[in-house]
Amino acid sequence: MKNQAFNPYLPSWEYIPDGEPHVFGDRVYVYGSHDAFGAPIFCVNDYVCWSAPVSDLSDWRCEGVIYRKRQDPGNPFGIRSLYAPDVTQGPDGRYYLYYAFDFLGEIGVAVCDTPAGQYTFYGKVHHKNGKVWGKKSGEQFPFDPGVLTDDDGRVWLYSGFAVKVPFPASRWHDLRNDGGVVMELESDMVTIRTEPRVLFPTKGKDGAFPHAFFEASSIRKVDGKYCFVYSSEHNHDLCWAMSDRPDGAFRYGGVLVDLGDLYLDGKTDEGHANNYLGNTHGGLLQIGSDWYIFYHRQTNRSSYARQACAEKLERTADGGFRQAEVTSCGLNGGPLRGEGRYEARIACNLWAKGHATGRVDGSAPHKRLAEHPYFTQSGKDREGNGDQYIANLRDGACAGFKYFDFRGCRGISADVRGEADGVLAVSLDPEGREEVCPIRVSVRGETQTAEAPCRIPDGVHALYFTFRGKGALDFLSFELKT
């Protein structure tokens, strides 16, 4: 690769949640929603696409805006927001973009001759009689489309949402929210061939789905089988289920990734997760024999500025997947180099004193949310390079980075600012038992570089920076010196 790859894998100023990765030709294309930093709601920006060569997942390129909210004839003033999309190459060779306008209760489709060109409005998913799906009382609520063009040319559309939406969908009619649904489309890509039916109920039957369906439908072929990825009732994990056919008999497989590394080693306490929790959404990517899960994290103490991340997956002997640990180096193909400068924004673990986290909607336990650290940026949305950093490190707060391959590290420096006096203690474990150096910090608003000598054993290690002292510290970056 030209460079190292980090999480989040896009530039610090970019906020792309719900990312669906697809390989078309020799490039990976990621289609997602588009949040705005500082926005009060989800997905206020138009769709953009990012792509990278399959041979270099560090080399991401912005393809620009591919579809605008106003292009849908039902949204001429751009009032409604474009939610999580998916793209497939149809039997005719063209590329079809499926999307939902927030909670309107319908699925729109746009089309383009190339994966990341200018998509044009094509139509709404509708029944054979021409009536748009979601406009009849009693129908399942259309939301979060996932689409697959199968090897035989048949087209399958997945959708679903688990929470009753009182407005605007049910303003005119009563829609159902019984779980994840599937339907086959005609070759025109918009007409429903087989009526939607529930595949994944919102409540697991007889324990068959211990993580019941919530939202975020995504579908891939894995070794000739059909792998459905979704966000569960817990809302901060992505789970998978497998079947021999696209329209039924799915068997629950487990968790692929969780924002706070819950369910690893039996840990389930949301208040002591490894990171702050919120919704997540993504899909599987295969490159050669390697598999990745794409997802998003929360920033800025809200659910409205989410960023794209990815982790490499390990397979099991029976053809399934093991849960991935959240890391700072997901697409790097291995640990980061144990030397050089790194931005604090690539931290994969973040918590307040006592390993207290919680959800970014304000339900963080033990302390008020104002006492918790968070990812944020200077300036407004897409202004400059974003200048992203970790804000509000208070006494006992910790930022963790995984993983680095150390070879002769002899010192660490940190760029910090704020109003604080104390020590930024660096350790190899989250509890601080393996402390390698204390970095003394004393700042009064201006950015300073503080440093200390240290000796880190050669090998692969995580790094944890814990602030102990008074005031609030902003953590911008650090440098590992050899």
Rounded distance, CA 13 to CA 458, Å? 34
Q: What is the DSSP letter of 205?
A: G
Rounded distance, CA 292 to CA 72, Å? 32
Rounded distance, CA 160 to CA 179, Å? 5
Altogether, the residues listed in the chain come to a count of 482
For residue 166, count other CB atoms closer than 10 A to its CB: 9
Pick the closest to residue 74 from 137, 126, 19, 16 (CA basis). Answer: 126
| φ and ψ of 169, to 5 deg | -60, -45
- Answer for the pair 439, 394: CB distance below 8 angstroms, yes or no: no
Sheet of strand 251-258, all strands in order from the earlier edge strand to the far edge: 213-222, 225-232, 237-243, 251-258
Q: Which residues are catalytic?
A: 18, 215
How far are the Cα atoms of 54, 55, 131, 228 from residue 288, in angstroms, in the given order? 9, 10, 42, 20
In Å, the largest CA–CA distance within the chain is: 73
DSSP string, 375-408: EEESSSTT-TT--EEEEEE-TT-EEEEEEEEESS
In the chain, the amino acid numbered 66 is I
| φ and ψ of 442, to 5 deg | -150, 105
Rounded distance, CA 276 to CA 359, Å? 6
| φ and ψ of 367, to 5 deg | -140, 160
Rg, Å, the chain Cα set: 23
Rounded distance, CA 214 to CA 315, Å? 25
